[in-house]
Structure 1
Amino acid sequence: MTKNNSSLPLAGGIAAAIGAGLCCAGPLVLLLLGVSGSWIGNLTLLEPYRPIFILLVVALFSFAGWKVYRPLENCEAGTACATPQVRKRRQIIFWGTAFIALILVTSNYWIMWFA
């Protein structure tokens, strides 16, 4: 029996998106939680690594998309990817998490309107 790691690329993509958006969304979350101070504007520790996180997001979501949308002929009979209901559910989860990752990755461009 093979181990099924179908959610690993999605989880990794979300984790990388959180890392990419942490420099901008992190201070906003702290402000929303009631934490204040002038030091919040200096939370840019992960900013130099932002391009690496974005590259990881794209790579992991590309791999997850390939796994979710691969042809039925490549799926073994009786596996989860061959079941239409499971396949459709995974596609919905894929697009939901991709949307969340897009929001996190692009947060430094639109977050300034809310802070």
Structure 2
Amino acid sequence: MNQKESNLPMIGGIIAALGAGVCCVGPLLLLLLGVSGSWIGNLTAFEPYRPLFIAFVVLLFGYSGWKIYRPVEECEPGTACAIPKKQQQRKVIFWLSAIVATILVTSNYWILLFA
């Protein structure tokens, strides 16, 4: 598996997390930028799909974690997972993107503290 294919689950997880958080983070970001109006309340169109986005986030990050934390013996020689330095970089990127995804997915619970 090449480098681009191995990053797809993490990239997909971030995109799904953005979809899950767009209903709450979007209006807050617009308000912080000074954009206001009654139409901002209509940005909750994705709310019914939120559970699907969250399930997608969990599945993709679970798959990514499994790929990143699998034993080195299962890696083909010369691939990114067989090189310790690359494996460490991928773990750091995985956890940073997992934190961002968690913030976006849970945004509708903590966003009320800033409203």
Query: What is the CA-CA distance between 1:3 and the residue it aligns to?
Result: 3.8
Please provide the CA RMSD for this pair. Answer: 1.0
- In structure 2, distance between residues paired with 1:39 and 1:3: 44
Is 1:42–2:23 an aligned residue pair?
no
Residue in 2 aligned with 1:99?
Answer: 99
Deviates more, 1:22-31 or 1:37-46: 37-46
Unaligned runs of 5+ in 2: none
Is 1:86–2:79 an aligned residue pair?
no
Query: What is the CA-CA distance between 1:79 and the residue it aligns to?
Result: 1.2
Q: State TM-score, norm by structure 1.
A: 0.95
Query: What is the CA-CA distance between 1:35 and the residue it aligns to?
Result: 0.7
Give the letter aligned to residue 96 of structure 1: L
SS in 1 for 2:34: coil
Identity of counterpart residues, as a percentage? 65
Residue in 2 aligned with 1:61?
Answer: 61
Moved over 3 A (4+): none
Residues 2, 79 of structure 2: 8 Å contact kept: no
Residues 17, 105 of structure 2: 8 Å contact kept: yes
Give the letter aligned to residue 10 of structure 1: M
Query: 1 or 2, which has the higher helix percentage?
Result: 2
May I ask how many residue pairs the two structures share in their alignment?
A: 114
Residue in 2 aligned with 1:70?
Answer: 70
Give the letter aligned to residue 7 of structure 1: N
- In structure 1, distance between residues paired with 2:103 and 2:83: 30
- In structure 2, distance between residues paired with 1:79 and 1:49: 37
SS in 2 for 1:43: helix
